[in-house]
Structures are given as structure tokens and as C-alpha cells.
Amino acid sequence: MSLAGERPAEITQYQQVQASPEFIQLKRKLRNFIFPMSVAFLLWYLAYVLLATYAPAFMSTKVFGNINVGLIIGLSQFVTTFLITTLYVRYANRQLDPLSEHLRRQIEEAGL
Amino acid sequence: MGTTALVTLICLAIVALVSVAIGSLGVRMARTTSDFLVASRTVGPTANAAAISGEYLSAASFLGVAGLILKDGPDALWYPVGFTAGYLGLLLFVAAPLRRSGAYTVPDFADVRLRSVPLRRVCTLVVIVIGWLYVLPQLQGAGLTVATVTSLPGWSGVVSAAIVVIASVIFGGMRSITFVQAFQYWLKLTALAVPVIFLVLHFAGDRRSFDRPAPPEFPADTTVSVQTDVTLEVSQPVSFSARGVLDGRQENGLVRWQQGTTHTVQQGASLTFSAGTSVPVVAGTPQTDASWLTPLSGKREYQLLEIYSLILATFLGTLGLPHVLARFYTNSDGRAARRTTVVVLAMLGAFYLMPTLLGALSRLYVPQLLVSGQTDAAILRLPAAALGENWLATALGGLVAAGAWAAFLSTSSGLVVSVAGVLFTDVLKGRLRSFTLATLIAGTVPMVLALFASRLDLAQTVVLAFAVAASTFCPLLVLGIWWRGLTDRGAIAGVAVGGALSAVSVMLSLFDVGATGWVSALLIRPAAISAPAAFLTMIVVSKLTQKRVISDVDHVLLRLHAPERLGLSQDRLPDTAG
């Protein structure tokens, strides 16, 4: 699986793709989603833990029946995970895939 | 042996036989995983997702989570949340680039990205360690299931489960095909959903509530036999009759414990409580039902550190687990992978509702587990305790036990196959090179561990494997995929440091080396230290050996990040999907 035996023509193709503005844009779009989303994601989880440690009275406030605020936030951690995934899927399908297709077509037309 | 025990044993035997049979009817595995990939790519995303979920849900998810909910309340939700979020992390950071690299395992990825033979060897070792650490709680769970439902000793369950797993791998030689794993998901879900329905109906008619500022009460006269040394806290004065060693003294008769006191009970003691007595709980866990409902109400020191460490381990460790990574290749392209992930998360979320509910119900019906410390047995004991000794409880009990066994067997076989494969390819040389020998080694070592290591809660033991993965493969994959500057020396150093820190602390916890304070909290959950240490080491050593960055690193990275089917990435199978 190593690239040691690649021919010069293919290496130029790599450089071509790498330099293309479309590829740079694709990478940037991907990063612009993943990293802020991950930070937000982690902060939200951390917020739950911190709230539970430093605001126990708030967390024990009952909402209905036996269910308190803490339980609701806890269970909603699941919902958050699901939500983030759905957002990512939508973002990737709408923003990343078309760029990717475009890039691929460009390369295929130009390169070979 | 009573009828219940017999019926359950029969259910377990059926599950075992079916596993071996399906395993041997299955396709023989090549050293690559292309056979099962081909099978998987022909089924739709839902079946694929069910297969992934089926293999992912192990003893920890099936029994362990319920046991922790019984003990700790909503704090235990971090385990399923972590398992689920870790899967999302895998999708966001690792899945697509890894698939584009053509590598199916992490040692393969190390080859592609860094081309270092020593690194590959280190990675191989880590795969084996993680695999064994993950199989360990499965076998312990098997032992617990058998011991709980019958009067057979725990080791019989451990040994028989190990034999079944080894046999199904040797005779089938493969990781179960998509079909079987998908079926496993639905079986496990049913094995829990059906009892949930009956038990919730029973609970609704039972007029009891959790919302009491009082500890749980024994619903009936109960005798608890203490299986492991345990330290108990008493919140309301309680008297009971005891036979065994309590607080270092041999007792044989009536014992009275005052409010607010702590006592130790040695393994082998037998305590009898009458109905309505309040339940002493394991020291450090929430005492009253009202506080149990509130997050972070246990009074263990360093609870925040424990949770932080747990979050790190599960969020980061999932992407290093061998059986999870390989399943990601069952999708033909990025779009399908994303769709599958959404369905997987939905299935995992739906599944985790069950042990959560059952764990909560256990607090009412089997509170004696809080005394014996064997909270993992909660789901197994719940039907009989709630519904009484009748055919329905027996049937439900059998169903749950069968689901539990399905969980242990399916996860264990996948892992034993991974470990055996790695042993076969990279470790056994010359005349020793036989897949059968590799499988025997892969299956026997965790069996021995399961027989002699001390039993932590099942979910905690599984997280040990996550912690090692989080401290070794996670930094390697994340830095390897996203950072140009990673060098082979940096990678080896990072994996060695993270691996050593996490593995040593795991061994110490498994063999009960005592410690106090934050050290002991970290021994069981090393990820808070070992994962950052691994990342840091990798980065620092890579910077120090900058010259060793491979010359065509840009090309390698491009291949990882460029869109697929550009002809840049060399998939092992021809892309017939077009």
C-alpha cells in the first residue's frame, strides 16, 4: 500500500489536485464544520457535568412527576448526539458532496 | 436445580449451539476482511446498521448499564452516552480518511501513513491488548449469568463461553457475517424490550414511587449472600441476622447497624433482611431514592475526575476498537456511511432506553443487589423478583439470559477473530503459524484473566479497553490523519507512553493493587492522564524528529482527504457500485 512505486505522471496529478482551489475549499468547508461542532459538542457535555457538580439544587428541580432537570439534561445528551449527526449528514450531503463531485469531474477531464 | 434454572440453561445452550452452527456455515475468512465486506455491501443501510449495532452492544451495554443505573442513577448514563458519542467521533474524524487509505486495521494504517515496521509491531501488540481487555468482561458476564440463574459456580459460565467462542471461530474461522450480527441486534433488543413492557405494566399497577427521601426498602424477606468484599453505608438504622465476617468479626445472629455508620462485609457472608427494612448501600453511592435520581449525588471523592476520565475514554476510545473500525468498511461510499451512522445512532439510542428503564425498576424490586455489590445481575434477577415465581417470569428470565449470552458471544467472537488474525499474521512464525493455535491463544488468555482477575462492574471493565484505545490508537489516527508533522518515532513514543500508562493501571486495578485518593480513582479510569500524555508525547517527539516526516507526506495526506474514486485511493475491491 505504499506510494513508492508511483509513476511521475500520477505524482503530478496529486500535486494538481492539491493545488486546486476547489480542493482547498473542500478541505476548509469540512474543517469549518467539524472543529467548531466538536468544540460545541464537548462544551455541552462539560456543561452538564459542571452543572451537576456546582448547581445540584437546580438539577434536582422537578419538572413533572419524578423527573428532574438533571435527568432531562442527561437524557438529552443522547438526543444531542443524534442531532449533531443529522446536522453533519445534511451538511455533507448539501455542501461537501457537490464540491467533491465538481472536483472529481474537473480532474478527470483535465488529467486523463 | 429448579425449573427456572433448567429452562434458562436450555436457552443458553440453544444460543450457544446456534452461534457455533452459524459460524461454521459462514464464509471462511481470508486474512483480509474482504469476504464479509462483499457480503455486507449487498445489503441496505438498515441491515448494515443493525449489524454494526449488534456487534457493538456487548455485556456492558446489556447488563452493565442497568447495574450502574441501579447503583448510581443518572450518572450511569455517561456510559451509553459515551459509547454513542464515541461512534459519532469515529464518523467525524476518522472513518472517511481511513477508508480512503485502504487500510482495514490500525496496524495497516500505520504502514500506509508512516511506513515503519517497529510501529506496526507496537500497534499489533496494542490490538491484542485491547481485544483481550474487551473480551474479559464478556466472559465475566457469561460467568455471572450462569451463576445468577443456576446454582452452578461462576467459572463454569466463563469456561463454557470461552469454549463456545473458540469453537465458533475455529470451525467458522470468521467474523460473523452481516446477517447474523443484524439478527443479534434484534434479538438483544427483543430480549430486553419484552421484559420492559411486562415490568413497566407491573410497576404502573404497583403504586410505588422513586421520589422518596428515604433509602430503598426490601420488598420481601431477603437473604443476600455477599459475593465480594463490600463496604456498606447505613442511612437508617437497620437490624438483620447475619452469618459471616462483618467489620472483621465473626457474626452469627442478630446484628444492628446505626444510622450514618459504615461497615465492611467479607465475601461469603450471608445477611437476612425482613420485608420493609431499608437497604444499606455500597459506600459512596446515593443513599436515598431522591438523591439517586439526581445526577452526581454519590459522595465518592473525585467523582468529577472519574466522570471526566470516563468521558475521555469513551469519546476517544471508540475509534480505536478493532471490531468497530472494520465494520465501517461495510459501506460503499461516504454517503452510505453517513446514512448508516444515523441509523446506528438511532438503534443504539433506542436500545439504551431499555437497560436504563430496567435499571430504574431494579431499584424497587431487587435492591438487595445494592448490598451484595453484584448490581450487574440486576436485569437477570428482575423478572422473578417483580413478577413472582411463575411461568411468565421464568420465560422472561430465560429470554433475558439468552439475550445476554448472545451479547457476550457475538462481541467476543468478533474480537477473538481480530486478535487471532493479528497473531496469525504478525506474531506466530514458522511451524507455529496456524490459525487454530492463534485462536486458542486469542481465546484462552482472556478466559484465564476472567477466572482470576477481580470483578469490577462490567461496564467499568469494558471502559478499560476504551481507555487503552483512547491512549494509543486515537492519537495515532487523529494525528496521522489530520497532522502533516507526525513522524514514526513520534507515533511509537506516543503509543508506548499512552499504552504503558493505561495498560499498567488497568492491570493494577484488575489485580486489586490498593491505593487511595485520586490515584485509586485514576487507576480504574486512566484515560484522563494517559490520553493527553499520549497526544503530547506524540506531538513533542514528532517535532523533535522533524526530519523523519516521510518525503511524500503530502501525497499520502491527499489520498486520505481527496474525494473518492479519483483513482487516487486504491480500494481493495473494484468499485462496482459506480
Of residues B547 and A52, the one with the higher pLDDT is B547
The answer, for B562 touching chain A at a CB cutoff of 8 Å, is: yes
Calculate how close chain A gets to B70, using CA atoms only, in Å.
Answer: 14
Question: How is chain A split into domains, by residue range?
Answer: 8-111
Asked whether the beta carbons of residue B335 and residue A93 sit closer than 8 angstroms, the reply is yes
- DSSP state letter for B278: B
Residues 6+ apart with CB under 8 A from B478: B93, B94, B319
DSSP string, B243-261: EEEETTEEEEEEEEE-TT-
Calculate how close chain B gets to A34, using CA atoms only, in Å.
Answer: 7
Q: How far apart are CA B574 and CA B136, in angstroms?
A: 38
pLDDT in tens, B294-336: 776 666 667 777 888 888 898 899 888 877 777 766 666 777 7
Mean pLDDT of chain B, nearest integer: 80
A2 pLDDT more than 70: no
Calculate how close chain A gets to B204, using CA atoms only, in Å.
Answer: 13
- Give B115's contacts in chain A (Cβ within 8 Å): 2
Q: Given this model, what pLDDT does residue B174 score?
A: 47
Which parts of B242-333 fold into alpha helices (H)? 289-292, 303-317, 322-327
Geometric angle at alpha carbon B293, from B78 and B312, rounded to 5°? 15
Which residue is closest to B302 within chain A, CA to CA?
Answer: A53
What are the start and end residues of each CATH 1.20.1730.10 domain in chain B?
3-204+333-561
The answer, for B239 touching chain A at a CB cutoff of 8 Å, is: no
Contact B272, B240 (CB under 8 A): yes
Asked whether the beta carbons of residue B566 and residue A85 sit closer than 8 angstroms, the reply is no
pLDDT in tens, A12-48: 666 677 777 877 888 888 888 888 888 888 788 778 7
Class of CATH domain B3-204+333-561: mainly alpha
Q: Given this model, what pLDDT does residue B539 score?
A: 93
Residue in B88, B296, B563 nearest the CB of A52: B296
**Centroid of chain to Cα B268:** 28
| pTM summary value | 0.83
pLDDT in tens, B130-157: 999 999 999 999 988 888 888 788 888 8
Asked whether the beta carbons of residue A85 and residue B345 sit closer than 8 angstroms, the reply is yes
The answer, for B299 touching chain A at a CB cutoff of 8 Å, is: no
Q: What is the ipTM of this complex?
A: 0.73
| Residue numbers of chain B with a pLDDT score lower than 50 | 27-34, 36-37, 173-176, 569-578
Instruction: Write out residues 14-33 of B within 8 Å (CB-CB) of A.
Output: none
Q: How far apart are CA B63 and CA A1, in angstroms?
A: 42
Q: Which residue has the cell 436500545?
A: B351
Best B81, B90, B105, B289 member to test A by mutation, with max A CBs in 10 Å, is B81
